């Protein structure tokens, strides 16, 4: 096999999952401040499917999707002092324009990565970066969740939500999660103190005196959840679209509301890694697919109802912790 090329998943048009196809491309070289990573596993996130269908920030194809990476440093560029070849790392490529994780090799800023926790396999580690950074940047950096506070996580069984439950719990919060009844046990096992079945109960009536709401679902639940906040409370949403009505309603209620777009963040990755090493954070991987079957992973994700994360395994060692 030509060692100067690699397999990547590309698309020439926008559309359904079947536009994703394996092709061969030139293997990249790390630039100044970059590392070249041999990808062992790549996480699949909802934003991947949105870009596949609509282009969004990436514009028109061709392009390669994916931001979540776990792998081994193959080479380092000029000025990189954090890593050397052979180091196991995980991280999120710069969002949105740094996409390219659905590949055998990828380059990215050295400071987009952190040492992979020994407690996690590459598969588990690849499930963590984007979802984990959304949770970290919302709950730690933005809301500054503290011991004894009450945190409501909307969509607590999903890719971001199930990690947010663990992050909030690690910060000492009393955590309430919303989930369908069939996923309630999973959310409790992750550390939630209470679970509200959003299909059978009214969240506004069940949750009260909340300090922080994390919204990862949008829609009517996001707007209504403002009513659960106590004085000084804040809602943080990972969905920045159609937010004006939310901020206006928050002002009427005397609470706060803000949204965020996730950023690559070495400090956040290091914090997540520390929780994983301490046994306080573990992503739930619902299913894995070989890299060449990325289209099948997208089809499953779009079928809805997935619990946790989907991961593409790029190398056989992806399921090994070392």
Each residue of 26-45: pLDDT tens digit? 999 999 999 999 999 999 99
DSSP, collapsed to helix, strand or coil, labels residue 303 as: helix
Give the pLDDT score at 316. Answer: 74
Provide the 8-state DSSP code for 141: I
> Which of residues 3 and 222 earns the better pLDDT score?
222
- Whether residue 322 is predicted with pLDDT greater than 60 in this model: the reply is no
Average pLDDT over residues 288-305: 93
**Max alpha carbon distance in the chain (Å)?**
64
| Spatial distance between the Cα atoms of 196 and 215, rounded to a whole number of angstroms | 15
- Give residue-wise pLDDT tens across range 95-145: 999 999 999 999 999 999 999 999 999 999 999 999 999 999 999 999 999
- Give residue-wise pLDDT tens across range 62-80: 999 999 999 999 999 999 9
Give the pLDDT score at 1. Answer: 45
Give the pLDDT score at 321. Answer: 62
The closest alpha carbon to 257, from 290, 224, 291, belongs to 224
Lowest mean pLDDT among 164-168, 201-205, 318-322: 318-322
Average pLDDT over residues 13-24: 98
Where does the pLDDT of residue 270 fall: very low under 50, low under 70, confident under 90, or very high at 90 and above? very high
- Give residue-wise pLDDT tens across range 204-259: 999 999 999 999 998 888 999 999 999 999 999 998 888 999 999 999 999 999 99
For each of the domains in the chain, give its residue range(s) and CATH number, in order of start.
5-128+283-319 (3.90.180.10), 131-259 (3.40.50.720)
Average pLDDT over residues 298-320: 84
Where does the pLDDT of residue 190 fall: very low under 50, low under 70, confident under 90, or very high at 90 and above? very high
**pTM as predicted:** 0.95
Q: Work out the percent of the chain whose per-residue pLDDT is above 70.
A: 97
- Whether residue 304 is predicted with pLDDT greater than 80 in this model: the reply is no
- Give residue-wise pLDDT tens across range 159-175: 999 999 999 999 999 99
Give the pLDDT score at 307. Answer: 84
Give the pLDDT score at 219. Answer: 86
The pair of three-digit structure tokens given for residue 92, joined into one six-digit string: 């999120």
Give the pLDDT score at 289. Answer: 97
- Whether residue 2 is predicted with pLDDT greater than 90 in this model: the reply is no
Radius of gyration of the chain (CA): 19
- Which long-range contacts does 80-85 make (Cβ < 8 Å, 24+ apart)? 80/30, 80/33, 80/34, 80/35, 80/110, 82/110, 82/111, 82/113, 83/35, 83/110, 83/113
Average pLDDT over residues 176-185: 94
Give the pLDDT score at 305. Answer: 65
């Amino acid at each position: 096999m030509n060692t100067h090329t690699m397999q990547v998943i590309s698309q020439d048009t926008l559309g359904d999952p079947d536009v994703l196809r394996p092709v061969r491309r030139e293997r990249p070289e790390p630039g100044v401040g970059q590392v070249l990573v041999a990808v062992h596993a790549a996480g699949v996130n909802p934003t991947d499917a949105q870009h596949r269908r609509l282009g969004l920030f990436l514009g028109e194809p061709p392009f390669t999707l994916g931001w979540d990476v776990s792998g081994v440093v193959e080479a380092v560029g000029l000025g990189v002092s954090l890593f050397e070849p052979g180091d196991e790392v995980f991280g999120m490529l710069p969002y949105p324009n740094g996409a390219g994780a659905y590949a055998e090799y990828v380059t990215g800023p050295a400071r987009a990565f952190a040492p992979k926790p020994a407690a996690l396999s590459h598969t588990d580690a690849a499930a963590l970066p984007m979802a984990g950074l959304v949770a970290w940047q919302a709950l730690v950096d933005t809301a500054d969740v503290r011991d004894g506070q009450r945190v409501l996580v909307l969509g607590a069984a999903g890719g971001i939500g199930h990690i947010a439950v663990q992050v909030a719990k690690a910060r000492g919060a009393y955590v309430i999660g919303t989930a369908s009844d069939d996923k309630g046990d999973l959310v409790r096992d992750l550390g939630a103190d209470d679970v509200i079945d959003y299909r059978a109960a009214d969240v506004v009536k069940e949750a009260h005196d909340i300090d922080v709401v994390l919204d990862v679902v949008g829609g009517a639940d996001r707007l209504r959840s403002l009513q659960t906040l106590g004085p000084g409370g804040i809602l943080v949403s990972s969905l920045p679209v159609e937010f004006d009505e939310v901020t206006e309603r928050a002002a009427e209620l005397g609470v706060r509301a803000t949204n965020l777009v996730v950023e690559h963040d070495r400090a956040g990755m290091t914090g997540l890694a520390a929780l994983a090493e301490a046994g306080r954070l573990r992503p739930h991987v619902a299913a894995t697919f070989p890299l060449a079957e990325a289209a099948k992973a997208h089809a499953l994700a779009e079928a809805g109802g997935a619990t946790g994360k989907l991961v593409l395994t790029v190398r056989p060692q992806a399921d090994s912790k070392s």
